[in-house]
């Protein structure tokens, strides 16, 4: 069930009244049933994989929890009779057991994810090497698996770290894993924030309902009016790397930036709005990312939950891990600067390689991820240089003009990196990118060029207006939440805004017969 479908709207229209009419005690059971319907609707295989994740993570978390309890009991009992060293050895034994449980569970869950993501590619590779028919070509990523695997594994890691106690009721863990709004395109959520509120009783609140409806409508607005429209042109541009070169690539960069933003943030708006409608608050995943002044800031404001996850569970643990510290010490003779940088550099690059791999099995994604890491490290190294520049020209660097410049620079930089995301091969991506500097063909772009991409001038005008609206709202949003301000004006005003959103979607949205069934771009991850 995709967000822009009658099936999804009907699903919501049935679920919401039922959810608030049943006794509060069994509200979460209703939600669990709804999730089950949603998951089964998406396919049997997906339901099986999800069940495997739920069962294994539940078992592992309970086992780890039990080991903690036994460790405490054992060590308390040893206190009078054994030495400190013996107690430490006992603790290490328990630690080892816990780590074993964790690793087995991680291998299993990431194994499924890996097999689904890379199965087809490995099949082709082995067929190329050893001949025969490539296997695994019919494997498809099941809905939301990248997202729920990360969320649920995050919970397990928190239990392992004793940050949260293990949940005793497996159904509650199932509810967290399968919470349906998150299955479309995330965000990756945390047990501590979302998992617990899911099972709390929620009373109906008309104001919250209206607020949630506004958020959902705004999500659809971005998605159907801007994203799906621009996607047509972006696809056309990406499909013919040999033909669309030079200035077309610049156009492609900008269109893709607008398209991806509208698509992904629109989808998340719907997700968060649906959560709000059910009384569940889901983490924000974006904070006006295109207003960032550097790539690393951008990554703290775009797909926030993914960045947080990697930071929390990979980047920090890795950079303080024993081998990393040993490596750092080992390189000391190369100089203090080098040895201090070793953990940061290695962890950064590894996390970015993983982030790339998370986005897609194609080599282009790996290169994209690593380049992101390289850019971030470079800008860290250049910081002293910037500082000197700032000191030299304080009036310039504090001006709005300079801030605007850094923002535009960041958007162009990240859009350049994203070109890798558009093409099937690294070669096409690089060749297209560099053609921007060798081929000057603005003439061709505007003499019918952009009209050959499947969109009419009217479509461009609508999309451009949509981008302007998004931009204006982002500017306004910097001074405070927009929905709060609308709601403050009263119910009538809020309903009017809602109706205008719905009306414009119905008229200007790209949906229905003749337009391809809409797909969120981030749905494929």
The contact set with another protein (CB under 8 A) reads: 6, 161-163, 296-297, 300, 311-312, 315-317, 319-321, 325, 328, 340, 343-344, 347-348, 376, 380, 456, 458-459, 490-492, 495-496, 499-500, 502-503, 506-515, 517
Residue 313 CB, nearest distance to another protein (Å)?
Answer: 8
CA distance 416 to 413: 5
Dihedral angle sign, alpha carbons of residues 429, 430, 436, 441 = negative
CA distance 454 to 331: 56
Residue 84 CB, nearest distance to another protein (Å)?
Answer: 10
Tokens 């899911």 correspond to 198
CA distance 100 to 60: 10
Q: Which two tokens stand for residue 122?
A: 């490995």
CA distance 217 to 505: 9
Of 166, 157, 148, 111, residue with least CA distance to 316: 157
Nearer to another protein, 125 or 499 (CB): 499
Residue 56 CB, nearest distance to another protein (Å)?
Answer: 22
Angle between helices 44-78 and 27-42 (to 10 degrees): 130
What is the CB neighbour count within 10 angstroms for residue 14? 12
Nearer to another protein, 8 or 248 (CB): 8
Residue 304 CB, nearest distance to another protein (Å)?
Answer: 12
Nearer to another protein, 6 or 44 (CB): 6
| E strand spans, 407-494 | none
Nearer to another protein, 78 or 115 (CB): 78
Nearer to another protein, 176 or 298 (CB): 298
Residue 246 CB, nearest distance to another protein (Å)?
Answer: 29
Residue 392 CB, nearest distance to another protein (Å)?
Answer: 15
| DSSP 8-state class, residue 518 | P
Of 128, 236, 190, 171, residue with least CA distance to 459: 236
Residue 458 CB, nearest distance to another protein (Å)?
Answer: 4
Q: How far is CA 317 from the centre of its chain?
A: 21
Of 202, 381, 225, 206, residue with least CA distance to 294: 381
Nearer to another protein, 435 or 494 (CB): 494
Nearer to another protein, 437 or 513 (CB): 513
Residue 382 CB, nearest distance to another protein (Å)?
Answer: 13
Q: How far is CA 423 from CA 241, 363, 417, 449, in A?
A: 8, 10, 12, 20
Nearer to another protein, 301 or 418 (CB): 301
| DSSP 8-state class, residue 133 | P
Q: Which two tokens stand for residue 10?
A: 């009907």
Nearer to another protein, 48 or 495 (CB): 495
Residue 322 CB, nearest distance to another protein (Å)?
Answer: 9
Residue 39 CB, nearest distance to another protein (Å)?
Answer: 23
Nearer to another protein, 204 or 316 (CB): 316
b (16+ CB within 10 A) / e for 382-407: eeeeeeeeeeeeeeebeeeeeeeeeb
Nearer to another protein, 169 or 321 (CB): 321
CA distance 245 to 439: 7
Residue 437 CB, nearest distance to another protein (Å)?
Answer: 30
Instruction: Report the half-sphere exposure of 428 (CA within 13 A, side-chain side).
Output: 19
Tokens 């949260």 correspond to 164
């Amino acid at each position: 069930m995709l967000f822009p479908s009658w099936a999804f709207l009907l699903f919501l229209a049935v679920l919401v009244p039922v959810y608030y009419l049943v006794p509060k005690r069994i509200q979460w059971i209703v939600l669990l049933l709804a999730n089950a319907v949603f998951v089964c609707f998406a396919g049997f295989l997906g339901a099986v994989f999800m069940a495997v994740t739920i069962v294994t993570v539940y078992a592992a978390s309970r086992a780890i929890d039990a080991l903690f309890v036994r460790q405490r009991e054992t060590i308390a009992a040893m206190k009078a009779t054994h030495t400190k060293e013996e107690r430490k050895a006992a603790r290490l034994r328990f630690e080892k057991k816990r780590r074993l449980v964790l690793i087995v569970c991680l291998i299993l869950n990431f194994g499924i994810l890996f097999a689904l993501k890379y199965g087809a590619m490995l099949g082709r590779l082995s067929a190329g090497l050893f001949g025969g028919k490539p296997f695994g070509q019919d494997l498809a990523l099941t809905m939301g698996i990248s997202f729920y695997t990360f969320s649920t594994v995050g919970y397990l890691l928190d239990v392992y770290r004793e940050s949260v106690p293990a949940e005793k009721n497996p159904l509650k863990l199932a509810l967290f894993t399968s919470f349906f709004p998150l299955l479309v395109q995330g965000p990756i959520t945390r047990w501590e924030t979302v998992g617990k509120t899911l099972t709390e009783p929620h009373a109906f609140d008309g104001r919250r309902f209206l607020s949630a409806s506004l958020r959902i409508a705004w999500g659809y607005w971005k998605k159907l009016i801007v994203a799906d429209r621009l996607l047509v042109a972006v696809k056309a541009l990406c499909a013919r790397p040999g033909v669309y070169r030079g200035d077309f690539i610049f156009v492609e960069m900008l269109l893709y930036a607008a398209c991806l933003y509208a698509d992904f943030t629109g989808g998340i708006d719907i997700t968060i709005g649906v959560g709000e409608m059910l009384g569940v608050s889901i983490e924000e995943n974006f904070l006006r990312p295109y207003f960032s002044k550097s790539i690393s800031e951008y990554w703290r404001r775009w797909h926030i939950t993914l960045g947080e996850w990697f930071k929390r569970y990979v980047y920090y643990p890795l950079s303080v891990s024993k081998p990393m510290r040993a490596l750092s010490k080992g390189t000391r003779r190369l100089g203090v600067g080098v040895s201090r940088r070793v953990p940061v550099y290695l962890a950064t690059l590894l996390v970015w390689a993983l982030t790339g791999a998370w986005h897609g099995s194609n080599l282009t994604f790996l290169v994209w991820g690593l380049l992101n890491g390289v850019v971030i490290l470079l800008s860290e190294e250049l910081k002293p240089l910037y500082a000197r520049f700032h000191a030299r020209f304080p009036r310039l660097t504090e001006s709005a003009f300079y801030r605007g410049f850094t923002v535009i620079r960041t958007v162009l930089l990240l859009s350049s990196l994203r070109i890798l995301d558009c093409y099937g091969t690294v070669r096409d991506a690089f060749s297209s990118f560099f053609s921007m500097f060798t081929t000057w063909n603005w003439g061709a772009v505007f003499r019918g060029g952009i009209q050959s991409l499947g969109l009419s001038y009217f479509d461009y005008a609508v999309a451009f207006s949509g981008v302007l609206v998004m931009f204006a709202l982002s500017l306004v949003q910097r001074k405070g939440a927009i929905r709060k301000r609308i709601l403050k004006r009263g119910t009538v005003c809020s309903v009017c805004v809602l109706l205008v959103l719905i009306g414009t979607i119905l008229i200007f949205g790209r949906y229905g017969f003749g337009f391809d069934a809409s797909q969120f771009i981030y749905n494929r991850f």
